[in-house]
């Protein structure tokens, strides 16, 4: 196989990362860039300038997503790539922003080398993926795009200080009443490049991954209730201690995910003890279970094992058990044809690429509701993310963009 994809300009990509990362810069290497903020406006203005210079026609849709488009000679539905431009508070320079830059650089490189594509090709800068300004608005831009925001959201979705997302939109010139216009039904494929946010590629010593699917994720809140008593006067054999039950459940669940093997994960990240005093056997322990698996059947099997363990342990220990599913997002498998296109692109260019599932959520899983999607992961140093310390080498980033560009070439040319 020959490789038609020109070499990506590493120095240019590095400059773009640093220039974009300077907008909303926080601490040494971080970024604080929330949706509809001044920094968000400035970042999108910069991307718009870059896209215009690359020959793309830009527009911001009604939800706050910035698009850059080059028409295709044969018309038809568009091939789209991109990610989100908003950050955690603070996040790093790479989470989201790298996928916007990658899309722009890949399209620009292809257009410079091969001229206009056969099919329309678009770059996308998505809005409020993180939910870092409006906690209940995660995936705002990608949900608007697929019709999963409601007409009442602009007035009811609020930030911590109480302002609505509708007010924030109006402040940057967007009309919340037109939110519905952000919907698209003319996209043929969406490919998102993102940093891995985990250590799998680093441990495998491979720069890039082709994402086979995004995990199913369920959050469950559990309360175990026992009998509050004096820590000194109550013998062990007469206790109904919810902390003992909590410890056994937590060990059992974590151990179960470990034995299932990758990519199953289970996390107990939050726990509240009542009354939480050293000399009192607790009355109750409330905790969360975060359980994920990209294969829905496996996720279902894991949930059943969790429920069985909870019931068995609570019954044996004489504890009250209440469980409440906080949310349950189904898994989102990547499109096999797009995975094949990415794999072929990596092979043609001699770039080692792992196949792996994403344990984190991404805009691609929203967009999967209207078109085939797939993702490219770039190795994260130390697996770090959601911190100013997140880092990927320029070599790994360029490798990722090469893989992306090769697939976009196959899809659009």
Interface positions with its own copies (CB under 8 A): 196-200, 203, 215, 217, 219, 229-238, 241, 243-244, 246-248, 250-251, 254, 257-258, 262-271, 273, 276-282, 288, 290, 292, 326, 358-361, 383-386
Q: Least separation, in Å, of the C-beta of 250 and its own copies?
A: 4
What residues have CB less than 8 Å from 75, skipping those under 6 apart?
Answer: 119, 120
Instruction: Specify the residue, 183 or 301, whose C-beta has the smaller distance to its own copies.
Output: 301
Asked if the peptide bond before residue 275 counts as cis, ω within 30 degrees of 0, the response is yes
Instruction: Specify the residue, 205 or 237, whose C-beta has the smaller distance to its own copies.
Output: 237
Q: Least separation, in Å, of the C-beta of 104 and its own copies?
A: 25
Instruction: Specify the residue, 176 or 263, whose C-beta has the smaller distance to its own copies.
Output: 263
CA–CA dist 263, 261 (Å, integer)? 6
Instruction: Specify the residue, 47 or 201, whose C-beta has the smaller distance to its own copies.
Output: 201
Nearest CA to 290 among 272, 269, 308? 269
Angstrom distances, CA of residue 117 to CA of 51, 58, 124: 16, 17, 17
152-177: burial string, b at 16+ Cβ within 10 Å, e else? ebbeebbbeeeebbbebbeeeebebe
Q: Least separation, in Å, of the C-beta of 329 and its own copies?
A: 11
Q: 164 forms bridges with which residues in the sheet?
A: 158
Q: Least separation, in Å, of the C-beta of 266 and its own copies?
A: 8
Pair of tokens at residue 226: 């026992």
Neighbours of 58 (CB within 10 A): 19
Nearest CA to 106 among 412, 363, 361? 412
What residues have CB less than 8 Å from 15, skipping those under 6 apart?
Answer: none
Q: Least separation, in Å, of the C-beta of 97 and its own copies?
A: 18
Q: Least separation, in Å, of the C-beta of 196 and its own copies?
A: 7
CA–CA dist 105, 17 (Å, integer)? 11
Q: Least separation, in Å, of the C-beta of 410 and its own copies?
A: 28
Instruction: Specify the residue, 31 or 106, whose C-beta has the smaller distance to its own copies.
Output: 31
Neighbours of 133 (CB within 10 A): 21
Q: Least separation, in Å, of the C-beta of 269 and its own copies?
A: 5
Instruction: Specify the residue, 117 or 282, whose C-beta has the smaller distance to its own copies.
Output: 282
């Amino acid at each position: 196989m020959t490789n038609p994809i020109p070499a990506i300009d590493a120095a240019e990509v590095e400059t773009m990362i640093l220039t974009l990362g300077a907008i909303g810069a926080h601490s040494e290497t971080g970024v604080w860039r929330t949706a509809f903020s001044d920094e968000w406006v400035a970042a999108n203005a910069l991307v718009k300038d870059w896209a215009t210079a690359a020959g793309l026609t830009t527009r911001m849709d009604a939800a706050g997503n910035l698009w850059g488009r080059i028409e295709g000679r044969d018309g038809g539905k568009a091939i789209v790539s991109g990610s989100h431009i908003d950050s955690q508070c603070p996040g790093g320079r790479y989470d989201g922003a790298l996928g916007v830059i990658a899309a722009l650089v890949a399209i620009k490189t292809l257009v410079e080398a091969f001229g206009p594509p056969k099919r329309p090709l678009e770059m996308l800068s998505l809005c409020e993926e993180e939910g870092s300004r409006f906690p209940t608005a995660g995936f705002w831009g990608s949900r608007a795009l697929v019709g999963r925001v409601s007409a009442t959201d602009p007035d009811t979705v609020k930030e911590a200080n109480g302002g609505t997302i509708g007010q924030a939109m109006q402040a940057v010139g967007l009309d919340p009443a037109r939110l519905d216009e952000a919907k698209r039904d003319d996209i043929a494929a969406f490919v998102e490049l993102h940093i891995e946010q985990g250590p799998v590629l680093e441990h495998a010593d491979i720069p890039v991954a082709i994402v086979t699917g995004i995990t199913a994720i369920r959050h469950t809140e559990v309360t175990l209730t026992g009998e509050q008593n004096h820590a000194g006067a109550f013998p062990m054999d007469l206790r109904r201690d919810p902390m003992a039950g909590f410890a056994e459940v937590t060990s059992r669940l974590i151990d179960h995910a470990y034995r299932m093997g990758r990519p199953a994960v289970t996390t107990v990240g939050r726990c509240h003890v009542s009354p939480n005093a050293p000399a009192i056997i607790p009355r109750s322990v409330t905790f969360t279970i975060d359980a994920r698996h990209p294969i829905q059947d496996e996720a279902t099997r894991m949930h059943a094992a969790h429920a069985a363990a909870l019931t068995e342990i609570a019954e044996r220990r004489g504890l009250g058990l209440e469980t409440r599913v906080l949310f349950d997002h189904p898994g989102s498998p990547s499109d096999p044809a797009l995975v094949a296109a990415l794999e072929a692109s990596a092979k043609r260019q001699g770039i080692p690429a792992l196949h792996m599932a994403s344990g984190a959520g991404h805009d691609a899983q929203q967009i999967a509701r209207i078109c085939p999607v797939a993702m490219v992961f770039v190795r994260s140093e130390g697996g770090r993310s959601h911190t100013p310390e997140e880092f990927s080498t320029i070599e790994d980033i360029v490798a990722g963009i090469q893989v992306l560009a090769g697939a976009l070439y196959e899809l659009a040319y």
